[in-house]
Structure 1
Amino acid sequence: MSNSASTIPPVSAAPVPVAPAARPAPTAAELGAAMELIAKPRLDAYRSFFNCSTDVELIGAYLWGQAVAGSFQPIVSTYEVVLRNAVHKHASLFASKSTSESHPWYDHTRPEALPTKGKSRDKIDDLLYEPPSAGLRMRRAVQPSPDQVVASLSFGFWPNFLQGLTKFQRQKILHEIFPYYPNGSPKHWSFDANVNSLIDTLKKIQDLRNRIAHYEPVWKPHRLTGSERHWSQAVLGLRNEHARILDVLQWCCPATPVLYKVSFGWRAFNIICTTAAVQAYMATPFAPYP
């Protein structure tokens, strides 16, 4: 009988990481050409707010702005997936009378459908119906599954949907979506002021996500509290935005922030969204960063 272990190939040693060769800094001509395409109005906002005295400092501030926007991506994407899945699960359970965690609660032709209106209703109809022809819309022969519908809905759908729930619906559904919300009993969600506070929080996160997706500077004061007069205050404002997202994740599922805080995304954000990182980028924008 042959020894099966002898057929197992040996485990190779892990390759030793090799640092990439250092690249030369861009020449003055290259820097000027790049800045011309980025455009003066866009760069002037950085020059003024970050008090840049040289083009090197200016491009450093700009590169930091890119980096800090990118450092939000892991937590924003986690938030979007967790929120939409929590809403879908508990909307499904409510509409199906606890028989299904993936139910077409959005289908307004069904008697148990939950309310959608305006652009939210239009987004649902685009998924369930063929494009209009002669003013009529035919139901698609093959209907997408509830999971497919939920995955196709935009980030902005969810706050608007939650805002449109009736008082009876939101007492049950919001309590289940956010079981760890402070003082978030079903009765808590019967009051409009409490619901509006939650929706305002969700829409502020939506606004941050849209700024990142559309390549807008995330640090601008009018996008934060409006009171930031120095870039160091904007750094603090961005850290507060990050903390807001962590709060919502905590309200939905406390295990999610625990997982995020051992990820590269957490470490990257806490390196980049600091005053030390701003100063480093402005001083030596072409140096490699961890």
Structure 2
Amino acid sequence: MDWSDLEKHFSAARLGRYRASCNGDVARAAKAYVNNMLLAEATMPMLNVLEIALKNGVHQRLITLYKRSDWWDSWVSDPSFAWQVREVVSAKAKLQRRAEALTPDKIIAELPFGFWSSLFNVQFQTILWKDLRLIFPRCPKPQRQRHTVSSALNQIRELRNRVFHHEQLLWLSPSLIDLHGKAIEVVAWIDPKLPPWLASYDRLPTTWAAIQPIQVNHSGISRPVP
């Protein structure tokens, strides 16, 4: 397929970002688009492990805190949790449309990553943090601060959204490989046995190295990432 075919199917606006980053070289831009798809594919094992381990960790801690498996119902009358309650209502509605049971496990699976990362926001410092910090037993004590965990999770949430909305990953700042490293660090905070297990299936580091993506420096000249 030539460049005009790609623009027809993927839009000039979407491909224009790649073309601009490659100084107008459409052959390099087309290759960059393909490389971006390969990088998105390679992020999936890491995103899978982190998101599922996080949500299950939060779920178990909040069951203990509220002494009920549907702990979100404890928030219905609390304005501090208005957004989270709306997300639960939305999750239940999706399940009902699919004629699925409204069990805690189903609702947990339906809630988006943004729901889980929001529980580490500053407004929940005194409400949830003392319990949620226990999800990260191997986080070094100087780093086991709400703002540190929240910042890391928000970076990963933004990366996840980029991956799932098929946005560019080649020229991020921090770089994709640095964000991947931060995600693996968070996974290790949950359980240090997870990163070596994940490494057997995690192709992002080798894919990143093999692709050698092009990055535009401040002068506008493209150069390979070392």
Cα distance change, pair 279–167 in 1 and its aligned pair in 2 (3 A): closer
Q: Deviations over 1:14-53 (max 9, x none)?
A: xxxxxxxxxxxx5xxx553233332333223222323463
Question: SS state of the match for residue 106, structure 1?
Answer: helix
| Residue equivalent to 1:70 | 41
Q: Deviations over 1:106-128 (max 9, x none)?
A: 11279xx9986232111223456
Root-mean-square deviation over aligned CA pairs: 3.0
Cα distance change, pair 71–83 in 1 and its aligned pair in 2 (3 A): same
Question: SS state of the match for residue 72, structure 2?
Answer: coil
1:270 pairs with 2:221: no
Residue in structure 2 matching 1:38, options 1, 6, 10:
10
| 1:199 Cα deviation after fit | 0.9
Cα distance in structure 1, aligned partners of 2:191 and 2:27 = 44
Cα distance in structure 1, aligned partners of 2:78 and 2:138 = 24
Cα distance in structure 2, aligned partners of 1:218 and 1:62 = 10
Q: Is the 8 A contact 1:61 1:278 kept in 2?
A: no
Q: Is the 8 A contact 1:79 1:249 kept in 2?
A: yes
Residue in structure 2 matching 1:146, options 99, 104, 114:
104
Q: Identity rate of aligned residues, in percent?
A: 22
Q: Is the 8 A contact 1:92 1:105 kept in 2?
A: yes
State the one-letter code of the partner of 1:271. Answer: T
Cα distance change, pair 127–72 in 1 and its aligned pair in 2 (3 A): closer
Cα distance in structure 1, aligned partners of 2:191 and 2:91 = 29
Q: Superposition pairs for residues 206-245 of structure 1, below 5 Å? A: 206-221=157-172, 224-225=173-174, 237-245=175-183
Q: Is the 8 A contact 2:19 2:29 kept in 1?
A: yes
State the one-letter code of the partner of 1:251. Answer: W
Residue in structure 2 matching 1:199, options 147, 150, 165:
150
Cα distance in structure 1, aligned partners of 2:158 and 2:44 = 13
Q: Is the 8 A contact 1:65 1:218 kept in 2?
A: yes
| Residue equivalent to 2:224 | none
| Residue equivalent to 2:140 | 182
Q: Is the 8 A contact 1:114 1:165 kept in 2?
A: no
Residue in structure 1 matching 2:120, options 162, 182, 194:
162
Cα distance change, pair 60–107 in 1 and its aligned pair in 2 (3 A): same
Cα distance change, pair 257–279 in 1 and its aligned pair in 2 (3 A): closer
Q: Deviations over 1:207-243 (max 9, x none)?
A: 100111111112344xx24xxxxxxxxxxx1110100
Cα distance change, pair 67–83 in 1 and its aligned pair in 2 (3 A): same
Q: How many residues align?
A: 208
Cα distance change, pair 40–152 in 1 and its aligned pair in 2 (3 A): closer
Greater helix fraction, Structure 1 or Structure 2? 2
| Residue equivalent to 1:288 | none
Structure 1: 5+ residue runs without aligned partners?
1-25, 97-101, 130-141, 226-236, 281-290
Question: SS state of the match for residue 108, structure 1?
Answer: helix
Q: Superposition pairs for residues 117-128 of structure 1, below 5 Å? A: 117-126=81-90
Cα distance in structure 2, aligned partners of 1:182 and 1:93 = 23
Q: Is the 8 A contact 2:170 2:213 kept in 1?
A: no
Cα distance change, pair 161–45 in 1 and its aligned pair in 2 (3 A): same
Q: Is the 8 A contact 1:115 1:161 kept in 2?
A: no
TM-score, length-scaled by structure 1: 0.63
Structure 2: 5+ residue runs without aligned partners?
94-99, 215-226
The structure with the larger Rg is 1
